[in-house]
Structure 1
Amino acid sequence: MSALVQCLSHTPLVGYVDPAPAVLDEVEGVVARARAQIEAFAPELVILFAPDHYNGFFYDVMPSFCIGMAARAIGDFDTAAGPFDVPKAQAEGCASAVLDAGVDAAVSYCMQVDHGFAQPLELLLGGIDRCPVIPVFINSVAVPLPSFQRARLLGEAIGRYASTLDKRVLFIGSGGLSHQPPVPELAHVDARMADRLMGSGRDLPADEREARQQRVIQAARRFVEDQGSLHPLNPAWDQGFLDTLACGRISDLDSLGNAELSALAGKSTHEVKTWVAAFAALSAFGPYQACDRYYRPIPEWIAGFGALAARPECSPLKEA
């Protein structure tokens, strides 16, 4: 058995509102190096921790965590659409192991996911169906939110399960870092939008989905011109978070409350709990060595954009 973790920010805005060509080239180089490491590792199973943005999970039933026994991507923002190759028996075993460890996680046999799941699979593996994948949803936008501690315990339980499989396992964490795009909040919307957040938004008409995407695109354009138009990015917090993961001090984040994180780095920064879960899963394989760290605040994508990889110390990563 062996394991590798690759965490990467995602953005639906790539191709819509892009930074300067030099920055694009830089990010593409980071992704290319990550993809080369993954190709060399040749994973036999991917466990993907990712959030949703009211495309697959709604307030009709909003779990903190959900493990997919089957999943389909909707193809928003021109990301790939279609089914994932979910190994049902292993996904069921993973869910049982998590519950046995005392972490409450829902399961879904018809999980619907968006760009937060599809984009990292496209960028890092070349498609959403290139490798068997167990999708793990972590609620990162819909209050009440899970804590850092619960995300860590979820990851540790999944890592312990993965360590029993005698497979090369790739853990992916998708999302973050600091950012707060215009995601609706149930407490501050009209009746029509509240109905969408409570489940009717699961199958939006094409024109309404396009209008929703255009709101995000226009918000990004305004943010480039006026970074006071949204919650500002927080590079200092982002770099400190990367330090915490790289040094293996994941439990240090347990004491950081959800309201404090939102105030520090934006309400969508809770997506970093996918990174916490991925690194916690890797920690079940023993001490790890981090490398291929990248960070840049990218206002065009309304994100502190980062990447970080790691592998158990017994099998250190090669520099790509």
Structure 2
Amino acid sequence: MPIHLECLSHTPLHGYFDPVPEVLAEVERVQAAARERVLAYDPELVVVFAPDHYNGFFYDLMPPFCIGAAAHSIGDYKSLAGPLPVPTELAKELVGSVLAADIDVALSYRMQVDHGCAQALEVLTGGLDRFPVIPVFINSVAPPMGRMRRARLLGEAIGRFLAHSGKRVLVIGSGGISHEPPVPELTGANAEATERLIAGRNPTPEARNARQDRTIAAARAFTAGASNMHPLNPEWDRAFLVRLAFELSAVDGMTNEEIVREGGRSAQEIRTWVAAFGALSAYGAYRASLDFYRPIPEWIAGFAAMHAVPAAA
């Protein structure tokens, strides 16, 4: 059965602190074109590889990978809130298939997803519930993490299952490239922050707003050059995107230390792109198009969009 891939960066800062109108319009044109492709393709199933930013997954139990058999978007920043239409039995079958392929993955019947998942669905489909969707969480912010090769193998295992599902599938990878927004770290955190990282689910509206305000302030400082956050790295970003398009297995040699050194701590989100391309690669050779890339300091992100299809399509 056919498969189509869309990978794109997300940002919680859209609508809060935007780049100049010309850049914003360019991003929105690229997103609209991607949505047109998706709606013309009319998928029967969507699989979203997405990170979490200490909104649904915490250190009380931090799996490297988790597949949702039921999921709900929390609606942080301006992302949509509400349930995702997850086909529960199919998600359970997917978990079993991935485990049988010797890839350890967790299962959740109450997955909470944040803007990292919801924004991609809204941009590409116009909402949360237009198509059946299975969310796949990939830990991208909470060390320790496995090697990049594990994300590729996870994607391949999921792709092999999808290829025999009898469904027209859309796979999505949602994550930034080089970026290091003010996501907290457990190492060195005080007692209050430690507890928030271990078990900080369902904060009060006031606490969530305070967190959003800190992120917006950090973006303003970063854009003004008054921040010590890791700089964006367009050269590294572009080299990674080329690997996805032409030599996916080359990501296996990327170490976690290299990713942080070159792209910043949150550049670990590239795992979502790797997993999505891994799923596509299970269908055979593919051809990929880089639709957009630009470093956008207002969004603290190397911002990109790609789509890809099997070579025979």
CA deviations 1:184-212 (Å, max 9, x no partner) are: 0001211011001111x101011111001
Amino acid at match of 2:307: A
CA deviations 1:106-158 (Å, max 9, x no partner) are: 01000011000100000100001111000000000000012110000000000
Q: 2:254 and 2:195 mapped to 1: Cα distance?
A: 32
- Quote how far apart the aligned CAs of 1:228 are: 4.7
Aligned length: 313
Q: Does 1:122 align with 2:126?
A: no
1:49 is paired with a residue whose SS is strand
For 1:41-190, list aligned pairs within 5 A: 41-190=41-190
CA deviations 1:61-87 (Å, max 9, x no partner) are: 000000000000000002100100000
Tell me if the contact between 2:221 and 2:227 (Cα under 8 Å) persists in the aligned partners. no
**Please, what is the CA RMSD of the aligned residues?**
0.8
Cα 1:162/1:227, change in 2 over 3 Å: farther
Structure 2, unmatched stretches of 5+, are none
Q: 2:207 and 2:77 mapped to 1: Cα distance?
A: 13
- Quote how far apart the aligned CAs of 1:89 are: 1.1
Q: 1:227 and 1:163 mapped to 2: Cα distance?
A: 49
Q: 1:164 and 1:89 mapped to 2: Cα distance?
A: 15
Partner of 1:27: 27
Partner of 2:260: 262
Tell me if the contact between 2:14 and 2:299 (Cα under 8 Å) persists in the aligned partners. yes
Tell me if the contact between 1:139 and 1:146 (Cα under 8 Å) persists in the aligned partners. no
Q: 1:283 and 1:174 mapped to 2: Cα distance?
A: 17
- Quote how far apart the aligned CAs of 1:314 are: 1.0
Partner of 1:285: 283
2:6 is paired with a residue whose SS is strand
1:202 is paired with a residue whose SS is coil
TM-score, normalised to structure 2, is 0.99
CA deviations 1:265-292 (Å, max 9, x no partner) are: 1000010100000001000111001124
Structure 1, unmatched stretches of 5+, are 316-320
Partner of 2:4: 4
Partner of 1:318: none
Tell me if the contact between 2:50 and 2:175 (Cα under 8 Å) persists in the aligned partners. yes
Q: 1:291 and 1:233 mapped to 2: Cα distance?
A: 22
Q: Does 1:204 align with 2:234?
A: no
Tell me if the contact between 2:3 and 2:169 (Cα under 8 Å) persists in the aligned partners. yes
- Quote how far apart the aligned CAs of 1:293 are: 2.4
Amino acid at match of 1:164: H
1:203 is paired with a residue whose SS is coil
Structure 1 runs of 4+ aligned residues shifted over 6 Å read none
Q: 2:221 and 2:227 mapped to 1: Cα distance?
A: 9
Q: 1:42 and 1:110 mapped to 2: Cα distance?
A: 27
- Quote how far apart the aligned CAs of 1:227 are: 6.3
Tell me if the contact between 1:222 and 1:229 (Cα under 8 Å) persists in the aligned partners. no
Amino acid at match of 1:139: N
2:307 is paired with a residue whose SS is strand
Partner of 2:230: 231
Give aligned-pair identity as a percent.
Answer: 57
- Quote how far apart the aligned CAs of 1:257 are: 0.9
Q: 1:304 and 1:152 mapped to 2: Cα distance?
A: 21
